[in-house]
């Protein structure tokens, strides 16, 4: 059996789709469906059971003696959340639970960390898991802090030999792709703007409020969700690679590049209006992110990752341009 937490969410549901494509239906899904239409993310999927992560008694009864792998994708991923108790329970304590369970049962664990652990990036974006290096990172929000705390906790446990036989913390950069539609304001700009560009309407991007960056020239490391899941399954297959891994393309691309890629996929010209960035987010706004992918590349994993234009084309043509946008 394979266990996927956060299985009805964005990355989790794409993992379920890829595992089904491999012929795996012995999947224990752990999540809540909430009221955001998340059920649509797994409407086409096959699995053994779906258990609400809050129903611990039911979950414990369904856990096998050992899992082929646990993909722990479940989290409160809102970068604007201010509910510390919720973040502590959902992001930190649940991750510790799965780490301990995988350690006891000898099950591999691949879990979702985040590039938000790097804060403003002034310490670079190197997935160095030395504790001294990790201590220098300063996340800018509660979400990033929770992911960073677990990364440090995991590295400490691994250093003591108290760890699963394989563990991998995936520091996701800016992920976009099908099944993100329930995320509201946390959706990618691809999901938010494709329909506007298709209709020939003007899209809005933030002006730059930092010297050295033109309007729309703020850059991110955008990665397609299918590439993320391909790399995670590849790591599962390798089974001998553990540690913290950056999961991005290793290339920094501007928001204007992103809009142009959408326009190219649609065969449309793109009109952009630059608007002032809200004062409330300016202090913590990141102008530059780019994953250092040397560690993953040295293992051979970066050969699975597509370019921005390739990923956007697949997303726009196969999903966002269709009546049924779900994978």
Q: Which residues are catalytic?
A: 143, 183
Question: What residues are paired with 111 via a beta bridge?
Answer: 72, 169
CA dist 297 and 289 (Å) reads 18
The four Cα atoms 297, 20, 43, 47 give a dihedral, to 10 degrees, of -120
CA dist 95 and 74 (Å) reads 9
CA dist 304 and 79 (Å) reads 28
Which among 146, 191, 135 is positioned nearest to 169, based on CA atoms? 146
**And the tokens for 172?**
């996701």
Question: What residues are paired with 245 via a beta bridge?
Answer: 170
Instruction: Tell me the Cα Rg of the chain.
Output: 19
Question: 118 vs 173, 177, 240, 282, 296, CA distance in Å?
Answer: 10, 23, 26, 17, 18
Contact 291, 222 (CB under 8 A): no
Query: What is the per-residue DSSP string for 40-79?
Result: GGGTT---SEEE-TT-HHHHHHH--SS-SEEEE------T
Helix (H) or strand (E) holding 317: none
Question: Strand (E) positions, 173-271?
Answer: 174-176, 203-206, 219-220, 222-224, 243-247, 253-254
Q: How many CB atoms lie within 10 A of CB 56?
A: 11
CA dist 219 and 315 (Å) reads 20
């Amino acid at each position: 059996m394979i266990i996927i937490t956060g299985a009805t969410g964005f990355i989790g549901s794409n993992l379920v789709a890829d595992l089904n494509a491999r012929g795996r239906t012995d999947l224990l899904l752990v999540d809540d469906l909430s009221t955001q239409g998340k059920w649509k993310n797994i409407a086409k999927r096959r699995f053994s059971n779906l258990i609400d992560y809050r129903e611990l008694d039911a979950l414990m009864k369904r856990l096998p003696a050992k899992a082929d792998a646990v993909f722990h994708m479940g989290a409160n991923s809102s970068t604007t959340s201010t509910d510390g108790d919720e973040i502590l329970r959902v992001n930190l304590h649940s991750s510790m639970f799965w780490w301990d369970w995988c350690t006891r049962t000898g099950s591999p664990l691949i879990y979702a960390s985040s590039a938000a652990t790097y804060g403003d990036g002034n310490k670079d974006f190197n997935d160095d898991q030395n504790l001294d290096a990790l201590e220098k990172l300063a996340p800018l929000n509660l979400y990033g802090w929770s992911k960073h705390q677990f990364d440090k906790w995991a590295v400490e446990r691994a250093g003591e030999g108290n760890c699963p036989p394989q563990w991998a913390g995936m520091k996701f950069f800016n992920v976009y792709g099908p099944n993100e539609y329930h995320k509201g304001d946390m959706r990618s700009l691809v999901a938010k703007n494709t329909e506007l560009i298709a209709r020939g309407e003007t899209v809005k991007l933030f002006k730059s409020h930092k010297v050295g960056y033109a309007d729309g020239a703020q850059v991110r490391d955008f990665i397609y969700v299918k590439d993320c899941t391909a790399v995670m399954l590849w790591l599962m297959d390798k089974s001998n690679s553990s540690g913290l891994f950056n999961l991005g393309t290793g290339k920094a691309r501007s928001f204007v590049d992103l809009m142009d890629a959408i326009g190219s996929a649609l065969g449309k010209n793109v009109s952009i209006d630059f608007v002032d960035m809200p004062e409330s987010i300016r202090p913590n706004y990141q102008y530059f992110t780019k994953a250092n992918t040397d560690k993953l590349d040295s293992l051979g994993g970066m050969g699975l990752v597509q370019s921005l234009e390739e990923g956007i084309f697949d997303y726009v043509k196969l999903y966002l341009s269709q009546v049924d946008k779900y994978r």
